[in-house]
A and B are shown apart, each in its own frame.
Chain A
Amino acid sequence: MATEISIKRVYTATPQQVWAAWTEPDQLARWWGKRGWNARPDSIVLDVRPGGAFRVTTVNDEDGSEMTNEGTYTEVDEPHRLVLGETVVTFRDLGDGRTEMHFQTTTEASGELLQRMKGGVESAFERLEEALR
């Protein structure tokens, strides 16, 4: 029972430009990861074709700890749609020089907890959280 995590962003760029930011290693290296983490350029593998590998290792600026994201491309439809396992990213041309990026992913873990939050017990957990402060 995996639930979707969905994030939409609008960028002032063409779908092709946003696509390139996702699929060209030197571009991906500039934005992938939380603030304070940076992608190690030599770690980036973007074999953008169905069955191809995706791998990025980000390094924490402060303590040097590393985190690797990896997956396999399952669908590649330039510059519209990119599917990496459970993750789907679509790029929609808004026709005015902007592109809407829609990012969707599912994980068992996060999905289940999100579903819990949408269920009726939310207030009980809020009270719990307050009690823990």
Chain B
Amino acid sequence: MNTDQLTLTFTALADPTRRQILARLAGGEATVNEIAAPFPISLQAVSKHLKVLEKAGLIARGKDRQLRPSRIQGAAFKEAASFLEDYRQFWDESFDRLGEHLHGD
């Protein structure tokens, strides 16, 4: 995944409603109506959120024109998580090495 795709992923994850939608979908696929039920927002607004999530690669949607059930896509999560892990690891390992340097190991 390239940086632009990662940006899309993180931007998609930045919104609390979209995170709640993802949490819902982690329990299994659902239609727009099912997803929208617990939210005090319109179907159109939910559809917009789903579009953002789909573009970010976080969900996939079925071909059925009426229902288009959404489900979680794992790869984008893995990429996002490994990006963060890399970032954290960079500093952790650098600071281990700094300790070795300072302590004369």
Contact = CB atoms under 8 A, between A and B. Distances in A.
Interface of A: 1, 5, 7, 9, 11-13, 17-18, 21, 27, 30-35, 101, 103, 105, 107-110, 112-114, 116, 119-121, 124-125, 127-129, 131-132
A18 B13 contact: no
B10 A112 contact: yes
Contact of A128 (B72, B87, B88, B95): B72
B58 to A, nearest CB: 10
Interface string B67-105: 000001010011011011001111111111111111100
A109 B6 contact: yes
Interface of B: 6-7, 10, 13-14, 16, 19-20, 22-23, 26-27, 72, 74, 77-78, 80-81, 83-84, 87-103
21 contacts: A7-B95, A11-B98, A12-B102, A18-B102, A27-B101, A30-B101, A34-B89, A105-B91, A109-B10, A110-B87, A110-B88, A114-B84, A119-B19, A121-B20, A125-B23, A125-B77, A127-B27, A128-B26, A128-B72, A129-B81, A132-B78
A110 B89 CA distance: 13
A21 B74 contact: no
B11 to A, nearest CB: 8
A128 B22 CA distance: 10
Contacts of A103: 91, 95
Contact of A121 (B23, B93, B95, B99): B23
A9 B14 contact: no
A9 B72 contact: no
Contact of A113 (B13, B26, B92): B13
Given A121-B20, A128-B74, A9 B26 contact: no
B91 A7 contact: yes
A34 B93 contact: yes
Contacts of A121: 19-20, 22-23, 26
A12 B103 CA distance: 7
